[in-house]
Structure 1
Amino acid sequence: MTETDTTRLHGLAGLDERLRDWLPGQRWFGGKGREIRDVELVSVTPLVGGDPAMYHLVAAVHQDGFTDRYQLLLGVRRYLPHRLLHCGIGEIEAGHAYDAAHDSEMTRWVLERLHEGATVGPLRFHRLENADFRTDLASLVMGVEQSNTSMVFGDQLILKMFRKLMPGVNPDLELTLALAAAGSPHVADPYAWYEMTVGGETTTLGMLQRFLHTATDGWELAITSVRDLYAEADLHPDEVGGDFAPEAFRLGMATAEVHHDLAATLPTATVGGVELAALAEAMTHRLRQAAEAVPELAPYAPALQTAFTDLAALEQPVPVQRIHGDYHLGQVLRTPTGWVLTDFEGEPTRPLAERRALHSPIKDVAGMLRSFDYAARHLLADHAGQPEQEQLEYRAVEWAERNRTAFCDGYAEAAGSDPREQAVLLRAFETDKVVYEVMYEARNRPSWLPIPLSAAQRLAG
């Protein structure tokens, strides 16, 4: 049956054109800025009949030599209620099409299938043996994510739906299951997931976990600490009531414990000269591109290059393992019992094979150190040109250094080895991260560009 026959059978004629107009406006759509040549419905699975109806779709979006697959829960109603107007896609033959991830009346169906461990067409639902959860909870879409869509059911469950599909098991599911099996207290309990075959490979579509409704986002905690410091700019960070260093220490311990559990449950290896030289060359290439694109970085490029030269010259083998891969304060939650790590996908824009590859855990350490720098300095833009800016900049550096030190101290206590002793690796990974940040801020948030440039100056010195 052709795509046209399928859409006509289900009354979905015209949907491809509606999607073509609707997709660029979605936060999770990765092809912004490129013209959509065509939208092809490669999978249409009826889930709920009647009015309203719901379908599971996989749409292949063709853009100037790129083809990406996206997942959609499509709702169709004869009349679209006011509460769903914000997620409307457009009129098609069967009625009003909309994104049913925002429809709590329909998403309960997914929760029920996850609990049953059912198979519906190509969709396969799995529940962990000892996991039990309610299926009568209403859902609400969280508004903070960009690359995925997360639905919170009551205050108990969170279902993450991966929007952009890459054939293979998603690292978020893989690492979360591994950590849960190891008994790690630093991951939210996984309950269930669903999948289908895409491109000949079993591909994760979504995962259900315990929702940590009493948790606080690590970035928000850090920013609150920085604001407290700025409000008392004549005091040092350890003299302010909102001192974050004790939490940074505990976060360092949690990070080391997660790395230990990942190494104990998933493959590990060591890499040597050839692999390190290739890694250094890739970092060098990114530096060259950034220095050409952002003139403000160019004066620091020769000194920054030495970090990668030193990496290529390392003689001792480097242990590698599965890591978080996109580690920063926005990926951790502080609960009443300790720190929990989230979103083990790695960098969503990277190929899946790269995100599932083995890396040095020092890469995660470097990512978090950069996040402390961002937390300390991003509020300075509000004080640009004001008399107190110089004093606040001094305090920002002091806050970042205090928390970077506390994090590494905590990591060293839990791991039994200090990441700062891996000075060549740490400098190379932090420099590479700064190069990425320079490119990102120059393209997206020019007012934040001084943050990575100040780090480039420090690392070049």
Structure 2
Amino acid sequence: MSESVTRTLASTPGLLASLDPLLREWLPRQRWFAGKGRPVTGFSPVAATELLPADGRLGLYHLLVRVHQPPALGAEPHPGDCYQLLIGVREALPPRLAPALIGHVEQGPLAGRTVYEALYDPRPAEVLLEALRSQARIGGLFFERDPEHEIRPGLVPRMLTAEQSNSSVVYGDTYILKLLRRVLPGVNPDLELPLALAREGCPRVPAPTAWIRAERSGQSYVLGVLQPFVQGASDGWELALRELAKGEDFAAEARALGRATAEVHTALARALPTVTLGQAQLTLMTDAMLARLEAAAQAVPALRPYVPGLRSAFEALAELAAEGRTWTAQRVHGDLHLGQCLRSPGGPWRLIDFEGEPARPLAERRLPQPPLRDVAGMLRSFDYAAHSADLPVPGWAETCRAAYCSGYAEVSGVDPRTDPVLLRACETDKAVYEVVYEARHRPDWLPVPLSAVRRLAGDDGTTASSAPTSPSSPLSRRTHP
């Protein structure tokens, strides 16, 4: 592949216009589409590259498209999210590709052809791997790899169909290519942090083998990352639900996962700068938490009765900062939960997907944070798992939470439970985020974070903090509504 076989939008002016009616119907149905619940009002091109000529039996377009929608309730006007699309073009789809159908084009340069989600098709997926293997540049797309790692040709691709906020293709059980769907210009932590951890020799995170970038109008976008595939692995969510279904204890796994988290945090603190958070920085952080709470309450009425109790979690943290308390902040995972952790039978835990919370701005995701943000995310994940069990197992989440904190302390030397005010604030902020996410994307799941909200606000008859207690974390330090 070379520059000569590519065309940009300048030579295919009607491409996006011809796809417009099909994409308006197809995009909102995709799991990774972030703008659900709001109509699509139009599209504007960011970049288009022809990877396989559309006048052949099989065509392939790589598109970066900005999607225009009215702003969400209470949100500021927004120029529109940019999405990465891989559009396959055929005369007609074979039955095996029926789930990938986008639609039949009626006008423009592809009139009379059928377009579809190309990642379902092995040939387009092979094109991407070959481009990475050969370190190709195609139009504004850059396929780059670690020079110390060769990529073997001929690996058979298969698309993973599990629900996720991006798309992944596995190549011969050797590599997995994660393609980011909602893309932003700038340094993406999903590539930045695993590369930093690889330099530190941290075995808990698969090291990137190759990656895809786009350059457009002086801006760089990370589009995908190729990493070793952990064969036979299950994610922590699957493992937890499996043990819950059998009524089995998950404490040993939770403890090992706590150790793995602490190892990654320790390596990140070595690899990248750390900062001290004093009163000024904590004021900014708690103000942001309070602002997110107020915005969430506007968007989700069910949250409003708990706002005073939840606000107290952030106010208590601000009070400690005003008294002179400081904390260390560093780069963290940013969206840690059971689904972001892998373990193969008899193997160690590994952490994946360092993209951070997709709803947050990229610059915010790259800021140093207290490591307890990740800890709080995992504690929330144990609650999610416990609520998802067909048959409740009393005390399961509490046991896992305690074991995870103990494992974390074994490696880091610091038990998260000894900082209950910060831990409660981080867990509250995470629960508020979950409420908004579930209300917008999975309303049936809304009772799960709302049950945590009641507990964290102190409205369920318990203490406001849900952190597992330890002799060194007195409840007297926690603030009640």
Alignment-derived partner of residue 47 in structure 2: 43
Contact 1:167 1:201 in 2 (8 A): yes
Among 403, 408, 430, which residue is 2:405 paired with? 408
Contact 1:323 1:358 in 2 (8 A): yes
Contact 2:37 2:440 in 1 (8 A): no
Per the alignment, do residues 266 and 6 of structure 1 end up closer, same or farther by CA in structure 2, a change over 3 Å counting?
same
Instruction: Map 1:1-12 onto structure 2 (within 5 A).
Output: 3=9, 5-7=11-13
Per the alignment, do residues 414 and 63 of structure 1 end up closer, same or farther by CA in structure 2, a change over 3 Å counting?
same
Structure 2 CA distance, aligned partners of 1:192 and 1:213? 19
User: Which range is displaced more, 210-219 or 277-286?
Assistant: 277-286
Alignment-derived partner of residue 268 in structure 1: 274
* Structure 1, unaligned runs of 5 or more: 230-241, 384-391
Secondary structure at the aligned position of 1:249 is classed as helix
> Does residue 289 of structure 2 align to residue 280 of structure 1?
no
Q: CA deviation at 1:81?
A: 1.9
Per the alignment, do residues 55 and 243 of structure 1 end up closer, same or farther by CA in structure 2, a change over 3 Å counting?
same
**Identity among equivalent pairs (%):** 51
Alignment-derived partner of residue 28 in structure 1: 32
> Does residue 181 of structure 2 align to residue 184 of structure 1?
no
Q: CA deviation at 1:46?
A: 1.8
Q: CA deviation at 1:448?
A: 4.2
Q: Deviations over 1:70-115 (max 9, x none)?
A: 1112221223222223222223343222221111012111101101
Secondary structure at the aligned position of 1:197 is classed as strand
Structure 1 CA distance, aligned partners of 2:69 and 2:120? 27
> Does residue 176 of structure 2 align to residue 155 of structure 1?
no
Q: CA deviation at 1:53?
A: 1.7
Alignment-derived partner of residue 212 in structure 2: 194
- AA in 2 matched with 1:312: A
Structure 2 CA distance, aligned partners of 1:75 and 1:357? 38
* Structure 2, unaligned runs of 5 or more: 1-6, 71-76, 464-481
Structure 2 CA distance, aligned partners of 1:208 and 1:260? 24
Per the alignment, do residues 191 and 411 of structure 1 end up closer, same or farther by CA in structure 2, a change over 3 Å counting?
same
- AA in 2 matched with 1:29: F
Alignment-derived partner of residue 191 in structure 2: 173
Alignment-derived partner of residue 74 in structure 2: none
Structure 2 CA distance, aligned partners of 1:99 and 1:127? 25
Secondary structure at the aligned position of 1:260 is classed as helix
Alignment-derived partner of residue 246 in structure 1: 252
Per the alignment, do residues 372 and 416 of structure 1 end up closer, same or farther by CA in structure 2, a change over 3 Å counting?
same
Q: Deviations over 1:24-49 (max 9, x none)?
A: 22222222222222222332212122
Q: CA deviation at 1:408?
A: 0.6
Per the alignment, do residues 16 and 300 of structure 1 end up closer, same or farther by CA in structure 2, a change over 3 Å counting?
closer
> Does residue 87 of structure 2 align to residue 81 of structure 1?
no
Per the alignment, do residues 97 and 267 of structure 1 end up closer, same or farther by CA in structure 2, a change over 3 Å counting?
same
Alignment-derived partner of residue 232 in structure 2: 214
Contact 2:36 2:440 in 1 (8 A): no
> Does residue 320 of structure 2 align to residue 323 of structure 1?
no
Structure (1 or 2) with the greater helix fraction: 1
Alignment-derived partner of residue 477 in structure 2: none
Q: CA deviation at 1:447?
A: 5.1
Per the alignment, do residues 173 and 36 of structure 1 end up closer, same or farther by CA in structure 2, a change over 3 Å counting?
same
Among 345, 353, 357, which residue is 2:363 paired with? 353
Alignment-derived partner of residue 384 in structure 2: 374
Structure 2 CA distance, aligned partners of 1:44 and 1:405? 50
Q: Deviations over 1:172-210 (max 9, x none)?
A: 111111111211111123210010114522210111011
Alignment-derived partner of residue 70 in structure 1: 83
Per the alignment, do residues 2 and 413 of structure 1 end up closer, same or farther by CA in structure 2, a change over 3 Å counting?
closer
Contact 2:28 2:36 in 1 (8 A): yes
TM-score w.r.t. length of structure 1: 0.88
User: Which range is displaced more, 251-260 or 297-306?
Assistant: 297-306
Contact 2:68 2:81 in 1 (8 A): yes
Per the alignment, do residues 443 and 53 of structure 1 end up closer, same or farther by CA in structure 2, a change over 3 Å counting?
closer
Contact 2:46 2:216 in 1 (8 A): no
Q: CA deviation at 1:403?
A: 1.0
Secondary structure at the aligned position of 2:48 is classed as strand
Q: CA deviation at 1:4?
A: 7.3
Contact 2:16 2:45 in 1 (8 A): no
